[in-house]
Structures are given as structure tokens and as C-alpha cells.
Structure 1
């Protein structure tokens, strides 16, 4: 399998290294175990002669234009974490050239994967229009606003969609690289994950911080403050809309457009966040915590936590996620 890892100047050090180390480890294990898996022929490429990482390390690259037709192109994240520097990075000529190179490769039959903020580069190229995708969770509102033709689900860590696959924040690079290995050999991917001590997950939800998402919009921020004072109460869309000085329909639309979820769903997120905090920092029993966050009993809370976070009360008490 021929893989081009397309790096732009300022690439996220951990993301790039994680991709390369995962593929290299898979190659080594395949040889060591005499597995009949094809070799991953990967190389770092760039649209400029040199690439520096976000921490200033120089990375040797092959000119992207000289790579005729990779089977896969992997796009690690630029090393920008906040909206303003990210938008500036996307506007740079190097990023524009990288997008054109992605379009050229895709026209030639290559499939493309992107992790974390790398999904912004892929979406900016227009190639993700009409497809499902994920990205780093805290930039979900910006992604949704900037790319309305992409169906974003930032709760998921991996989203395969036709010729594309996107992965979530930071260590999503590792999930993406393992996913690629798994397409060739599930056994090799499992062994690689074990050697790298990787406990794979399917959701970013346990890591999300609701207040960070709320800051993307003043109405959502007001709703978040209003909701936190009423987690122990039953949710009322009518009361929420009245407090926001808007209609129920307008509030519903605003939350959907910014967060991709309803006011009730976000209210439930805040309840879960509060419950997890209390489980980790207090000695209250589950029944008392359930009452404090508005659930009828501990059984209901246990079931919700297991469904939403993929773990139970004992794991949360031990702070394992």
C-alpha cells in the first residue's frame, strides 16, 4: 500500500510522529510475525521543499507533485489549536497548494484520510462536501459554520465516508493510522495496538468540555449558564426560550446550527458532566448524585453513563477516562 503523508509547515509534531510510528511498527511486526500482509510504503511529502513542525523541527519531505498516485493520502493536523490562527493558516498559499494537490490526487483515484485539525484542510478543499466527517471536538462549532455541506459528528473518533475517513482530536492520528492498518489486516492492527498500548475508543464524548463548546456563540453561552443552575430540575424548552428572550423554534435552530444538537441534548451533556465531576471529586453515593443532576434514581444515571461514556461508575470513581 502506497501512502503519502501530506505535511504543511507548522504540522502538529505528535500527530505526524504518531502516524509514522504506527505504520512503521505495523511493518516491523508483520515481518517479525511472518504475516502475509503487504508492506506500508509511506513517505512524508510536502508542497514546499522543507517543512518545519509546530515546535520548529525540520522534517525531510518528498515533493508532493512527484508522487504520482498514492493509494492513500494521510493529512496530519496543522499545529494550530484555536480558531483565529487556524483560519490564518488555511488562508496561506501553502495550504491552498496542498488543497489543490489533494484534489489532484483524488481525481487520480487516491483515497484520503485526515485527523484532528487536518480535517479542516480536507473540508476547505471542498472534497468533503456531501460526506459525513468528524474533527477535533472543541472546533466543532467553527467546522459546522464554515462547512455547512459536510455532515459533522464530532462525537465520533473515526468516520469513514466513501473515499474519505476523518478522525478526532490529537490522538485521533493514532486511531486513523490503526484504522488504515486494519483495512489490510485486522490481526496486524490488533497486534500493533497492543505493542503501542492503545485502548481504542469509538467516541470523543468522554473528553468534551461543554463550556468550551458554548463559548462559540453568545446565545449558546447564555443557555449554558441558565441550564447549569437548573440541572436538578426537569428540562423545559419553553422556559429556556423565554429566558433567552427568543422563541422555542429559534433556540432549537440556533443550538442545532452551532452544536449540531438540540437544547435538550446539550442539557443532558451538562448533567453528565456534572455527574462525572461529582463521582470523581465527592463521596456522595450514586443515588444522591442522580438526584442532584435531575435523574429519578441511580439506576437511570448508571445506564446513561454507560451508554454515553462507555464506562460505569466504578471506572469513573477511579478516573480511568
Structure 2
């Protein structure tokens, strides 16, 4: 039986811990036998998990006997590793053990040096810190998970479920993984390269900024093919002054801001209506469905239909 050791460090994030424990623990082979033996281990007998305390039945010695080690995220990913953790992980890696991280658990894995020279991901809000702290790691904040073979990293806790299903499929095939996905009420087909589907809020303007009326006007007219000259005329500025003010107050250009407004509105329509993509493209001011699809993929990281399949609400049918 394949053994999975889930390493709980102090400050472990509860869902990051429970997601792999539940997913691997409930996986069954076609004959009904358990596919995995799951062990929660820690350098301490008890660790804090926010509102409660977790008692770990196994110590670091359990890592040596594991086929897979999972590293959940912790509340303070910048904290130094407890004594013995890096050494135990490196020793397990030297023996060929597969090691996977959940969310900011990537900081734990990166601290061992095992991710140096490799591509990795983490939650998009933590990606800049991971890249700055570990420059030898190529951080990609736009995917659900990254599989380097022996070492895997996932984005948020929900993306960890995708990563776990990916590992189960590799270990035992699609039939076993599909059954595990149904138990977790998860789709099996989401691939690691799929974007993290960040909701791209508009770059904010400071309170009382002179551009506030212009930004509202753009929101109200994002279904039209508005030109830069038209925006400048409405603002009572030259195009040069308008561009400079936008850079100062929003950090982007007028047309980039307008494109994001259109994509944000398209996200809402894809989630809440059954309208075809061609109609939505017109509703949000794109000249053609092709231009809309290209812009949407560039901003969101997936196709409009892919986004709809993931986020469409039950009442939108």
C-alpha cells in the first residue's frame, strides 16, 4: 500500500491539512481496498492549527517510510523551519520520495533547496514573496499546480485537490481517480496549466482622484468601441495628459483599464447568464468574438467557455 505522510508544522492551515488527508484517505481501489495509508506527522506532538490544536501520531521518522510527503501551508510561511525538518525532507528526496506542497507550503519545500532550478507555484497573493525569497525557483502564479516529476507544488487549497487527483490518476489510473473526484465533489479534468482564475479588480484610483468621473464613465460605456481620443475629449484633456494621469492614479493606461472593465463584466455574464460567447462579446464592447476570446484568455488565463464551466452558477441555466 502506498504511504502518504502529511507533515504538519506549527501554524498549519486547517484546510491545507485536511484536503490531502481526506482525498488520499478516502481513495479506494476497484476491489474496495484503501489505495493509500495516510499518516499525519510533525516534529512536535501537538501543533497549532488556528482555532484548534492537532495531535500528530507520528514524528519526523515517518517521512523516511513514506512514498509521498505532502507539505500543507502554514500561517507564517516566512518562519524558519523547525530543527530536523529540512534534513528529513532532503533525506527522503534522496531516496526518491515524491514531495508535494499545498498553497504556501511551497515556502517549506523551497527552504530545503529542493526546488532550486525548478518551476513552482503557490497562491497568487504569495507568489511575489516566494520569488523574492527564493530567486533560484521559477515561480508561476498563473497555474493550479506544477508537476516536476518528484516535486509538485499547488496554488490555493482547492488547487491542492486537483494536484492530489492528478497524483492518484498517475498512481492508480483514471477510474480510481474519477471515483476519488466524485467523493470530493470535484471535476477530474482540470489540468495543472489552468489559470488560478484571479478576479481582476480594476486598479483603484485614490479617493477624490480627478479621474473618478472618467472611470465611472468608462464603466458605463464599456459596451461601446470607445477610442482614446473620445476618452480624452470626455475628460477635457489631451491624450498625452490623459495617459499621464492614468499612469499616476491607476498604474495603467486608459485602454488597458477599459479592457479590464470589459473582461470583468464578461466574467459576471459568464457566471450568471446562459448567453452565448458571441453575444457576450458584443455586450462587453469587443468588435468580434475572436478578439474577445484572445483578450479574455490573456487577462484571465483560460477561455470564456473554460471559465464558464468552472464558475457558472446553478441559476444561470
The TM-score, its normalising length taken from structure 2, stands at 0.70
Deviation of residue 300 (structure 1)?
4.1
Partner residue of 2:292?
301
Count of residue pairs the alignment pairs up? 284
- The residue matched to 1:112 in structure 2 has which SS? strand
* 8 A Cα contact 1:136 1:169, kept in partner: yes
Partner residue of 1:259?
none
- The residue matched to 1:154 in structure 2 has which SS? coil
* 8 A Cα contact 1:76 1:173, kept in partner: no
Distance 2:112 2:315 in 1: 40
- The residue matched to 1:62 in structure 2 has which SS? coil
Distance 2:148 2:274 in 1: 44
Deviation of residue 185 (structure 1)?
1.2
Partner residue of 1:54?
50
Deviation of residue 71 (structure 1)?
1.8
* 8 A Cα contact 1:8 1:98, kept in partner: no
Deviation of residue 164 (structure 1)?
0.5
User: Is 1:275 matched with 2:248?
Assistant: no
Partner residue of 2:208?
none
* 8 A Cα contact 1:279 1:317, kept in partner: no
Deviation of residue 19 (structure 1)?
1.0
* Residues 287 and 107 (structure 1), Cα distance of their counterparts in 2 relative to 1, 3 Å cut: closer
Partner residue of 2:185?
197
User: Is 1:188 matched with 2:173?
Assistant: no
* 8 A Cα contact 2:119 2:140, kept in partner: yes
Deviations 1:75-112 (A, max 9, x none): 1111x3xxxxx3xx432452x64333322321232221
Deviations 1:8-58 (A, max 9, x none): 0121112211211111211xx32xx416x8842221111122223122233
* 8 A Cα contact 2:63 2:88, kept in partner: no
Q: Which deviates the most, 127-136 or 295-304?
A: 295-304
Q: 2:113 aligns with which of 126, 131, 141?
A: 126
User: Is 1:65 matched with 2:61?
Assistant: yes
Distance 2:310 2:16 in 1: 32
1:25-36 correspondence to structure 2 within 5 Å: 25-26=26-27, 29-30=28-29, 33-34=30-31
Q: Which deviates the most, 137-146 or 183-192?
A: 137-146
Partner residue of 1:8?
9
* Residues 274 and 319 (structure 1), Cα distance of their counterparts in 2 relative to 1, 3 Å cut: farther
* 8 A Cα contact 1:144 1:150, kept in partner: yes
Q: Which deviates the most, 158-167 or 200-209?
A: 200-209
Distance 2:172 2:147 in 1: 17
Deviation of residue 240 (structure 1)?
6.2
* 8 A Cα contact 1:46 1:62, kept in partner: yes
Distance 1:266 1:124 in 2: 38
Deviation of residue 144 (structure 1)?
2.6
* Residues 160 and 314 (structure 1), Cα distance of their counterparts in 2 relative to 1, 3 Å cut: closer
Partner residue of 1:167?
154
User: Which stretches in structure 2 are left out of the alignment for 5+ residues?
Assistant: 205-213, 229-239
Partner residue of 2:199?
209
* 8 A Cα contact 1:168 1:204, kept in partner: no
Distance 2:72 2:52 in 1: 16
Distance 1:266 1:122 in 2: 37
User: Is 1:156 matched with 2:143?
Assistant: yes
* 8 A Cα contact 2:6 2:70, kept in partner: yes
Structure whose residues are more often helix by fraction: 1
Deviations 1:198-246 (A, max 9, x none): 124236636313349x79xxxxxxxxxx9995976579xx99689547x
Structure showing greater relative contact order (alpha-carbon pairs closer than 8 Å, 6 or more residues apart): 1
Distance 2:287 2:156 in 1: 34
